[in-house]
Amino acid sequence: MVKAGVRKKVTEPTDCSRLLLQKKYGAFRVCLDPQNLNRAIKRPRYNLPTFEDITSKLEGAKYFRVLDAVSAFWQISLDEDSSHFCTFSSPFGKFKFLRMPYGIKCAPERFQRVVAEMLEDIQNADNFLMI
């Protein structure tokens, strides 16, 4: 993840806890545990569409496109202050996220808003985030 620019090795103090999760094939993954951080985050006022919103907009449509946004939240850069709050310690050193980590409670709304802004000038285009 360091080579991909998702996180960066640092020496500064850590803010978040971490989780060590076992992958399907026995290897381990170090993940951010943002529970304490999430308590301090104010959710943005951006409503995710409901199932009814989605189905009403699909009625009568002829063309559909489904995109699988692999590592979707990692497409959203964090500013320096936010990145500092996403710093954690692991057996491999201290790291901070440069991109939106999974588990941050406002991540779905932020991603939905970014995609909506990208599509806003395209006629009859809409997006629905499904997690």
pLDDT tens digits, residue range 101-115?
888 888 888 888 888
Dump pLDDT digits (tens) for 49-99.
777 887 887 788 787 777 777 788 888 999 998 888 888 888 888 999 999
Rounded to the nearest 5°, which phi and psi values hold at 92? -100, 0
CATH of domain 2-119: 3.10.10
Give the pLDDT of residue 78. Answer: 92
Q: Would you kindly state where each structural domain of the chain is located, as residue ranges?
A: 2-119
Q: How confident is the model at residue 129 (pLDDT cuts 50, 70, 90)?
A: low
User: Using an 8 Å Cβ cutoff, are 126 and 64 in contact?
Assistant: no
First-to-final CA distance of the chain: 22
Q: Is the pTM of this model over 0.75?
A: no
Residue 9 has pLDDT above 90, yes or no: yes
- CA of 113: how far to CAs of 30, 32, 83, 127, 129, in Å? 28, 23, 20, 10, 10
